[in-house]
Amino acid sequence: VTKEPIPVIVYGLGAIGIGAVKLALQKSYIKIVGAVDVDPSKQGKDLGDVIGGDRLGVTVQPNIQAALAVAPAKVVLHTTTSFMELVEPQLVELINAGLHVVSSTEELSYPHLQSPAIAERLDRLAIDKGVSVLGIGVNPGFLMDLLPLTLTGVCQSVESVEVVRVVDTAKRRVQLQKKTGANLSEAEFRGLMDTGRMGHIGLVESVALIADGLGWPLERIDDEVEPVLAKELTTSEFFQVEAGRVVGLNQVATGWSNGKPRIVLRLHMSLRAENPCDRIRIEGTPPIYLEQPDGVAGDHATVAILINSVHRIVEAKNGLLSPHDLPIPVCRS
């Protein structure tokens, strides 16, 4: 069966959005028909120029109405910010336009936790308009939540889930090195922590997503962040960090059920972290232990899972969905 490609608009042309466009161009089942960005310096340009490639005949528009006036679409790839409060008006506009949404917004991977009222409004609106909305990514959205949930599929019962992810940020984008505190003093790091601006966004969402998938009511979720300090001079392409200053962070999110820490997610991200890896341990019948010795590189993977969700969202039920509500986003060519 030869199907028409799915017409897609990319909304947000930061690093992830640009990566998504580049990958979408290689997929026969996707056709990029529009692009939207708030940055006036990108508006009016050909999308090919913005991503640094050949002309595509798609002009970057200032808003979704302008994009839809040029070409109708079915799905929006939404890559703007991490936070529900900021994306709600954007999502409302996209849903009202009758578009399915695949979004990289971290908090949207499980918005019922921190923004239950917004989540309910979006869910009702999406059902009303006959569209599906999904927040997904590699973390949150896969490595520390959807993958362990998938593994429970072969368990008769589950007692606890523990995931450890160790990332060497020196091998990643400068933004991640900055976000994890590279070259801050410990005092600066703790100052940012106190204002809630330090720590990976989405780890508590991953805990809540696992609990939701397993049907576990949680009493509470703890989220602890600590700086990792350089033991010696530590360098990356972008930073030279003296001993005693910050090279990254250790974060642990814990979901408590029946008085026990039953979901424990440990994320270590630092410059030159030793033995980068992903490990999943499920205590249950049978027990499951799995490791990915080199870990999964985040940036390529995040772009991939967004694109791989496009063929799933058009066949999904309507409403605000969680990653485990859909069939797995397999890689199609």
**Smallest gap, in angstroms, from Cβ of residue 115 to a copy of itself?**
21
Contact indicator for 280, 147 with CB cutoff of 8 Å = yes
Nearer to a copy of itself, 252 or 277 (CB): 277
Q: Is the Cβ–Cβ distance between 92 and 67 less than 8 Å? A: no
In the block, residue with structure tokens 């030159």: 272
Regarding 58 and contact with a copy of itself (CB under 8 A), the answer is no
| N residues, the chain | 333
The CB-based long-range contact list for 310-316 (8 Å cut-off, 24+ gap) reads 310/6, 310/8, 310/24, 310/27, 310/29, 310/30, 310/75, 310/77, 310/102, 311/6, 311/29, 313/75, 313/100, 313/101, 313/102, 313/132, 313/134, 314/6, 314/74, 314/75, 314/100, 316/100, 316/132, 316/134
Structure token pair of residue 308:
């791989």
CB of 289 to a copy of itself, least distance (A): 6
Pick one of 40, 52, 196, 215: the residue that binds a copy of itself (CB under 8 A): 215
- Report, in Å, the least distance between residue 284 CB and a copy of itself: 7
Q: Is 23 in the site for a copy of itself (CB under 8 A)?
A: yes
Q: Provide the minimum distance between the beta carbon of 322 and a copy of itself in the complex, in angstroms, as a whole number.
A: 10
Least spacing, CB of residue 102 vs a copy of itself, in Å? 13
Among the listed residues 10, 21, 214, 225, the single contact to a copy of itself using CB under 8 A? 214
Comparing CB distances to a copy of itself, the nearer of 113 and 228 is: 113
- Cβ neighbours for 25, distance < 8 A, ≥ 6 positions apart: 32, 53, 56
Work out the widest C-alpha separation in the chain, in whole angstroms: 61
- Give the number of other Cβ atoms within 10 Å of residue 48's Cβ: 15
Nearer to a copy of itself, 146 or 230 (CB): 146
1 touches a copy of itself by CB under 8 A: no
Q: Which stretch binds a copy of itself (CB under 8 A): 73-81, 92-100, 126-134, 292-300?
A: 292-300
Nearer to a copy of itself, 148 or 199 (CB): 148
Stretch that binds a copy of itself, among 35-43, 87-95, 138-146, 235-243 (CB under 8 A): 138-146
Interface with a copy of itself (CB under 8 A): 23, 26, 138, 142-143, 146-147, 149-158, 213-216, 284-286, 288-294, 296-297, 300-301, 303-305, 307-308, 324-333
